[in-house]
Chains A and B, each alone.
Chain A
Amino acid sequence: MSDLDAGSSKSESRSKRDTTHKIPPVHADRANRPPLDDAGRTRITPRVLAPASESAAACRVGPRRSYKSQGPWSGGEILTEALLREGVEILFGIPGGVLLSLFDSFYHAPINMILVRHEQGAGHMAEGYARATGRVGVAIGTSGPGATNLVTPITDAWMDSVPVVFLTGQVASNLIGADAFQEADITGITRPITKHNYLVKNADDLPRVVKEAFHLAGTGRPGPVLIDLPKDMLMSARDEVSWPETMRLRGYQPTIEGHAGQIKRMAELIAASKRPLLYVGGGAIASRCTAELIALSEKAKIPVTLTSMGLGAFPAEHPHYVSMLGMHGSFAANMAVSHCDLLLAIGARFDDRVTGRLDRFAAQAKKVHVDIDPASVSKNVKVDVPIVGDAATVLQALVPQVKPVDARAEWLDQIAAWQKEHPYGYSRREGEILPQQVLESIAKVTRGECVYTTDVGQHQMWACQWIPVNEPHRFISSCGLGTMGFGFPAAVGAAFGVRSQGLPVVCITSDGSFQMCLQELAVSVGHQLPVKIVILNNGCLGMIRQWQHMFFGERYSCSEMNLQPDFVRLAEAYGASATRVADPKDLNKALKWLMATPGTALLDVVTARGENVYPMVPAGGASDEMILDPKEAVAIAQRLGFESFEAD
């Protein structure tokens, strides 16, 4: 579109707005924001969200009345309407110069625009929202720094296949490439970390692009899609807008149905197997195939191990559940993988943290891999039966073909014996709270009646080990990218997502990670979200310290923090309730207080420093060679040698 266009529409939209508002609105949040109270705290009656509908698709059916009754439409208004047509009820972000006209359109729209404090927070909130609801999340940042602050969450969403549409402002079209103020080539920067991205130069393209973006983000292997929005395009005006029913995605047709012959082979392999094992990842949650997994596991008596992304895809309380596998997985799960004769990978991607040494991973097993992404199949591990398709659809076709098995005593007993031999464990200490103990207590106190999010480090691995997750969408962690700072904003986003279900969100974090995104306390408190923060405060970057302990001669270079804020007062400064616990005797009481306190609350748990996560399969090691006993850890690590480990 031409600059002339942009110029004329600019003055047009300005004059229109000037008659409507004397003071230019900055963000929609303000509409709901009462003044600060005497204590200087914001006391907000949040806008009540409409209950989340089953899926975005449900909101899309039928012609709807536009939120705007007559033209002309600015680019920003077209975008807003397009978002509403996709069923978007909430978005997270921060405005900026090039986005002002868009934020002006949000002002009147029935859309909940959440003002965050840092765009990284917005991105992780959108991820948390998406992972708790299964819907597409939306985050927005302005041109330049706003967009680059989104790069970490975009990468995070890419690695964990989270459906998020990222909207970024861009400088006016005629300035693109001129190193203009706050210009960043965000489509260039994010090309390798998005499923697809768009630079929209013509407002006429917005309806189609938004439709495609949501379709791409939410279907197939989900992932992030970015739409870059030049300022002049957002400000240009259109008298007529057409809302296309079709998309221009000839090259994008995810395979849903698995190959019938391959599914038959899968059923035959199951019938022939003595020691089958289901290895299930995050794809199973995206595909919502929990019922099918249970049906398969029960019909053919197949035990199930999950990856950290898969936690909740199969109920932890099910007798066939063998807990997480991989680097910090259980002894039983890793032994089961090493000894199974048939490995059924469902929506999992043979990540190196799961497999360890590739040639020793499930070495005795025939392997079947069900995944919607053909590029994931046979990428790291050659499989005998690759099946490209949607997990739920494939399993629905498979289960009737599977021969029922009455008992599989030998194999299941063997796994039970492994579970008995080395359960997750720790020995309590007088006067000191052990981190594992905190997780065990959280599990007891919350009884699964919440969504859990974690940050990254030791506490994350203990959470994976100790929290039984019985439902999908209830355990949210940054697994692929391992982003410290993810847990808290993800909890905030998840809390918005499950608000209508009345579920609290428990954020399990530690002193290092929490300090990377704690500014979003303002959002959590401001919207009275029931986010319950538990800091496992070990005074250090525990996971780093653990590797230094094991592989670097206990030289604790930059892993111990010599100054810590007072997290209780910090939380209180934002208006959250907070308290600290250091005595094991008070732990349960403190956790009960945390869960009973309305709104956002924080519990600072002083935990023993120097506790490490076991079992551990050292990076690149074979999965049946685990370090189980802290006393042996250093000796084994040294015997194996430093070279074989890549740093975390």
Chain B
Amino acid sequence: MSGTNRHIISALVENEHGVLAKVAGLFAARGFNIESLTVGPTEDTTLSRMTIVLLADDDTLEQVVKQLRRVPTMVKVQDYLDTPTIQREMVLIRVQAGDGSRRLEALEVVNVFNGKVVDLTPKDFTAELTGSENKIQAIVDCLRPYGIKELARSGKVAMTRSPTAVR
């Protein structure tokens, strides 16, 4: 067995009902474990893009990709492991940070990470941050001591870098 890698699979699908259920069912039926799955519109209104992150060895990945390609409404499936890509994730974090100084410290953390405060109450604040997965993980770790009340991550979206772009 080959080693396990974290794969990002980008799939262009027909914008029809049932495609998400089909893909989710495929993963469930074969016991493939998905870390995150996002779906959203693309520049072409007839197509949606799914970004699927999963841990898999090479054999499993081959099966995943083949099974996905077998779906007639699947227009294109790509594994981004060896492709230069831009990957982003967004997080919303509500932080407790009760009294004055701790609150200021926590807000400073958000600042350092180039986050944005999108909601503020006397009891807590909510910050928004976009970045690579590492960056998201880092801010979550830094804010944890201040008391994270609630957290929502978007899951990853990804695109290949433009072939002409300077790398």
Say yes or no for A252: interface residue by CB 8 A criterion.
yes
Q: In the bound complex, do residue A191 and residue B75 qualify as a contact, i.e. CB atoms below 8 Å apart?
A: no
Interface string of A350-381 (1 = CB under 8 A from B): 00000000000000000000000111011100
Say yes or no for B167: interface residue by CB 8 A criterion.
no
Q: In the bound complex, do residue B17 and residue A251 qualify as a contact, i.e. CB atoms below 8 Å apart?
A: no
Say yes or no for B116: interface residue by CB 8 A criterion.
no
Say yes or no for B14: interface residue by CB 8 A criterion.
yes
Q: In the bound complex, do residue A195 and residue B72 qualify as a contact, i.e. CB atoms below 8 Å apart?
A: yes
Q: Which size class do A's interface residues fall under?
A: 20 to 34
Interface string of A194-220 (1 = CB under 8 A from B): 011101000000000000000010000
Nearest Cβ on chain B to A251's Cβ, whole angstroms:
4
A374 partner, pick from B14, B22, B26, B66, beta carbons under 8 A: B66
Closest B residue to A215 by CB, please name it. Answer: B72
Residues of B within 8 A of A262 (CB): none
Interface string of B11-34 (1 = CB under 8 A from A): 001100110011001100100000
With A and B bound together, what is the CA distance between A188 and B28 in angstroms?
A: 14
Q: In the bound complex, do residue A191 and residue B22 qualify as a contact, i.e. CB atoms below 8 Å apart?
A: yes
Say yes or no for A112: interface residue by CB 8 A criterion.
no
Q: Which size class do B's interface residues fall under?
A: 20 to 34
Q: In the bound complex, do residue B76 and residue A192 qualify as a contact, i.e. CB atoms below 8 Å apart?
A: no
Nearest Cβ on chain A to B165's Cβ, whole angstroms:
27
With A and B bound together, what is the CA distance between A192 and B73 in angstroms?
A: 14
Q: In the bound complex, do residue A216 and residue B72 qualify as a contact, i.e. CB atoms below 8 Å apart?
A: yes
Q: In the bound complex, do residue A192 and residue B25 qualify as a contact, i.e. CB atoms below 8 Å apart?
A: yes
Q: In the bound complex, do residue B67 and residue A191 qualify as a contact, i.e. CB atoms below 8 Å apart?
A: no
Interface string of A246-258 (1 = CB under 8 A from B): 0011111000000
With A and B bound together, what is the CA distance between A607 and B109 in angstroms?
A: 83
Residues of A within 8 A of B70 (CB): 373-375
Say yes or no for B63: interface residue by CB 8 A criterion.
yes
With A and B bound together, what is the CA distance between A197 and B72 in angstroms?
A: 10
Nearest Cβ on chain B to A218's Cβ, whole angstroms:
13
Say yes or no for A528: interface residue by CB 8 A criterion.
no
Q: In the bound complex, do residue A251 and residue B66 qualify as a contact, i.e. CB atoms below 8 Å apart?
A: no
Say yes or no for B151: interface residue by CB 8 A criterion.
no
B72 partner, pick from A188, A191, A252, A379, beta carbons under 8 A: A252
13 contacts between A and B (CB under 8 A): A191-B18, A192-B26, A192-B29, A195-B72, A196-B72, A199-B17, A249-B72, A251-B69, A251-B76, A252-B72, A373-B70, A374-B69, A375-B70
Q: Which residues of B contact A (CB under 8 A)?
A: 13-14, 17-18, 21-22, 25-26, 29, 62-63, 66-67, 69-76
Q: Besides the contacts A251-B13, A374-B70, what 7 more A-B pairs have beta carbons closer than 8 Å?
A: A187-B18, A191-B25, A192-B25, A249-B72, A251-B14, A375-B66, A378-B62
